[in-house]
Structure 1
Amino acid sequence: MESEHLERGIKVRQLLMIALGGTIGTGLFVGTGGNIANAGPLGTLIAYMVGGVIVYSIILSLGELASVYPTTGSFGDYASRFIGPATGYMVFWMYWVGWVITVAVEYIAVGLLMQRWFPHVPVYYFVMGCIVLIFLLNAFSVRVFAEGEFFLASIKVLAVFIFIILGVVGIVYQSYLHGFSHVWDHFYITKANPNLGLEAGFFPKGLSGVFGVILAVIFAYTGTEIVGVAAGEAKNPSVAMPKAIKATLWRIVFFFLGSVIVISVFLPMTDSSIAKSPFVSTLERIPLPFFGTGIPYTADVMNFVIITAILSTANSGVYASSRMVYGLAQKKMFPPIFAKLNKQGTPVYAMYLSMGFTLLGMLTQAYAPEKIIESLINIISFSVIIVWISVSVAQYNFRKQFVASGKSLDDLPYRAPFLPLIQFIGISGSLVGVVGAYMDPDQRIGAYLTIGYTLLCYLGYYLTKDRWGQA
């Protein structure tokens, strides 16, 4: 027997963990090293602060919309309702493609990381294991997904918390040994190094390096907005969403900025790279009382944590992408079969479609030239930027309509503060990320591909809008 409605089975504690752990993944655990190498410690810290302000403004807008309209279609529904159905259709597919590509890359990443312990086992064996695990977490009930995400997210949240605590102890101990001023040596380059393209000062590669990493920082924050999708299946979204928003703020301040500061104190930018997790390199250098420098088995422990973080991201990605397809079908913008639910209330056909295209993405990862893969990863960030902008515009239009209808703002379950400032920050900040990425010639093709995909989405809407009974 099929269910007629999505199951509201996500508890408050699970929604809080989805909000807290949604963005802690490869962008933080691995990408931070590349960001520090390209922008320097202070430049990376500024980039994460700017990105944090942008994403928090988006979450404030999303919180108001999701508390009034807690639907699993989330951004697509809001864009359809408050911007236009064509834009809503585009947003549905834009968010979908970003997660499909992300999940494909994450599967491969798990396989490669497992090679550390099982070098003779083919990567695709682990990839197949990941696919089965993520399928089992998503196919049966949203409660299984939420509990699985709670467990996986808890591991990485605890790991980052311990990392920061150890870093603080190391900073205090280093201050005791060498003086407080020595702690900040890596933040300022005293001598230029033309061979490495470094200038003396706080910004060794210039301000352009800071703008260049903005897109990578946005990729690191990707996943924060998934709490808006989960709100559609939360038990009490009007209560849970404000709590999730507060959790997002503290995560940004504590986990991201705290991690960057600890890494920058102990790891020179010349030793940072995208090839090795900066968390591993930093733990190998932190001085601790009675233990000396370095912590035993650091690499193995962090390898395990990063794998769980990647699995968590893939779990969220399959969930979010399947709900986008379901939302399209529910609004009669896509074949009705994808709106069908199993008896546990899960849109399995939408999930099959998303997982199927993820497999195609993995083939691209395996056989396409490296530049194509980099461009596909850039599309993830550009697609999220478009989704974020749509949230700001939709919430601004919603508030105007709400006030014009004669209703009181006190009637809102959650009222976003600082309007229209947060819309200005969200939109202009997202556009700064696009401009910063465009300054890097290697990232421009990703922008062009995203523009082409956007136009294709609009074309798809106008070709099919009368086909499945959309009202």
Structure 2
Amino acid sequence: MPKSTISEEKKAEDLEIVESRADGEVEQQNELKRDFKPRQVFMFSIACAIGTGLVIGSGGALAKGGPGSLLISYILIGIAVFFVMTGMGEMAAFLPMNKGFGGYATRLVDPAFGFATGWNYFFKYCMAMPTNLTAAGLVIQYWRPDLNVAIWIAVFAVIIISINVLHVSAFGETEFCLGAAKVIIMIMIMTTCLVIALGGGPNHDRSGFRYWHEPGAFAEYLVKGNKGRFLGWWACMCQACFSYTGTEVVGITFGETPNPRKNIPRAVKQTFWRIGCFYVIGVLVLGMAVPYDNAQLIGATKQSTSAGASPFVVAASLAGIKVFPDIINGCLLIFTLSAGSSDIYCASRSLYGLARDGQAPRIFAKTLKNGNPIYAVCVASAFALVGFLNASKSTGQVFQYFVSLTTIFAVLNWMAILVSHISFRRALKAQGVSLEDLPYVGFLQPYGSYYALIISLLVLLFSGYDTFIPRFKVDTFILKYIGIVIFIGNVCLWKFLKRSKQWKASEVDLVTGRREFEEMEHKTDAEWNQGFWKKVLAKTRQK
């Protein structure tokens, strides 16, 4: 072998450089590792969709809109989220990338749009993490009200940060266990409500669909009459968006998933079943077990995040089950810790993707040898300090501020994914790429993306309707719409700094990175991990 060739190979080994055609960039070999096991990805996709928004937030929606409005809203938003997932699945299976949603927005729409998307996703989960830490602290206060919530914020912050410093496979295994526990908990809660509605509780009251007739299926909110019932339904729509927040989080794991062309479609297809089982059926049995005008339910919606605020606890209490609040409180602790851990994961990977695209300092693209983007994880973890704002007397108020910000950021994230997918489909058509060449084709796409985009836009624009009734509330108005201002501001900032332009459909890059993934498509996960990187390294050395 010629000395020049040996020298080049040694140089490549010393620098640990690999050209990943999946991203079209020169990367360090110790980058994100595709070490998520398929079962971990599948459980992660389910677990991220189940949070306190469903277990607790659904009670406020029931009290405002009634069981009919609640069910309709969760179905409509659920359909929209399903199309968000299938659109994301099409892009990720055809062009696997490890830059997060901002990477797809940069490549398929406009670098400025990708810049705003990536930072929006980062901000969303940086705000969600202290929210969940606060929720965990308030859960413990249910048993120990004498201890300040700041103590538990500190303890739980150390736990979830430690989990995120581990190898991605260890993180995946932890989330797998927590996700399995959440699934079992939700099945238990829904079964309990169904048994209560069928007369199996200690009071043996068979309510069935009685509460749909008296007090009724649709509640009045803020004003009387049909207008009040409409506002009640819209309140349920906004709450449903918060409840579904996190469903798309599994897309972040696609950058660390082996054999993405096989495993991504599997994870996406599960979306329909988790939406149908846990959300739609969950709110259906809840509306059968609790009347929306019950004083205990209305009082519970004014609480924070302890077990007493859960409408499922109210259902058990009305049926005469005494021990249920303590059980639910323990379950909520699992929900909040799992959510907080995944928040750091999502925020750090978003920052990593921004750095990879040159839209954040390059240091955040560096990883440990185990593939952990440690600097990005440290920055995301630092936002745990924001949770200590809740140590003051205004804990509930600050907590609601975080919830409002998180919801707006989440809807903006959905819209960014949908716009990217619509641009992706237009590019396929303009460049003559057949749908048969896609590893995965979503049901009713791209029409589903248009439907989901319209729904998301309406919720985004009119989520602040209650700031004008009965009087204008400045602080609430700012919280409802500041996310939009930040997003648009980021787009304008990047366009001003980089003079970026929107890609034409014929100019979108649909080639870079496809070949290696197509060649490895029929391999097992282990073969994919080993063969893909060996092949890419060999090509780099040849150059």
Common topology (TM > 0.5): yes
Separation of aligned partners in 2, 1:371 and 1:297: 29
Alignment match of 1:232 (pick from 227, 234, 255): 255
Q: How does 1:40-55 map to 2 (within 5 A)?
A: 40-55=66-81
Aligned position for 2:264: 241
RMSD of the TM alignment (CA)?
A: 2.8
After superposition, residues 67-466 of structure 1 pair within 5 angstroms as 67-173=93-199, 182-190=207-215, 205-271=228-294, 272=297, 273-274=300-301, 275=303, 276-286=309-319, 293-294=320-321, 296-359=322-385, 361-366=386-391, 373-441=399-467, 443-462=476-495, 465=498
1:432 to partner: Cα distance? 2.3
User: Structure 1 260/195 Cα, relative in aligned 2: closer, same or farther at 3 Å?
Assistant: closer
User: Distance between the aligned counterparts of 1:416 and 1:129, measured in 2?
Assistant: 43
Distance 1:281 1:17, change over 3 A: same
Distance apart, 1:285 and its partner CA:
3.4
Larger deviation, residues 84-93 vs 366-375? 366-375
Instruction: State the TM-score, normalized to the length of structure 2.
Output: 0.78
Deviation at 1:57, TM superposition (A): 1.0
Pair 1:269–1:195, CA change in 2 (3 A):
closer
Partner secondary structure for residue 358 of structure 2? coil
Deviation per residue, 1:120-140 (Å, 9 max, x gap): 333222211211111111112
Q: Distance in 2 between matches of 1:197 and 1:174?
A: 35
SS in structure 2 at match of 1:285: helix
**Gap change, CA 1:80 and 1:367, over 3 Å in 2:** farther
**Structure 2: gaps of 5 or more residues:** 1-15, 17-27, 304-308, 468-472, 500-543
Q: Whole-Å Cα distance in 1 between the matches of residues 233 and 281 of structure 2?
A: 18
How many residues align structurally? 454
410-419 vs 336-345, which moves further: 410-419
| Structure 1 residues 258 and 402: alpha-carbon distance in aligned structure 2, compared to 1, 3 A threshold | same
The amino acid of 1:213's aligned partner reads C
Q: 1:190 to 1:408 in 2, by over 3 A?
A: closer
Q: Shift in Å at residue 197 of structure 1?
A: 6.8
Q: Cα 1:197–1:340, aligned 2, differ >3 Å: closer, same or farther?
A: closer
Q: 1:190 to 1:314 in 2, by over 3 A?
A: closer
Aligned partners of 1:372, 1:282: CA distance in 2, in Å?
28
Paired residues of 1:99 and 1:380 also in contact (CA < 8 A): yes
Cα distance in 1 for residues equivalent to 2:313 and 2:149: 22
Letter in 1 for 2:279: F
Deviations 1:401-458 (Å, cap 9, x if unpaired)? 1233233211111112313311211111102212441321165322331122123323
- What secondary structure does 1:269 align onto? coil
**TM-score, structure 1 as length reference:** 0.89
1:196 Cα offset (Å): 9.3
Distance in 2 between residues matched to 1:254 and 1:195, nearest whole Å:
28
Matched with 1:469 is none
Q: Helix, strand or coil: the match of 1:344?
A: coil
Instruction: State the match for 2:5 in structure 1.
Output: none
1: distance between equivalents of 2:286 and 2:445?
Answer: 36
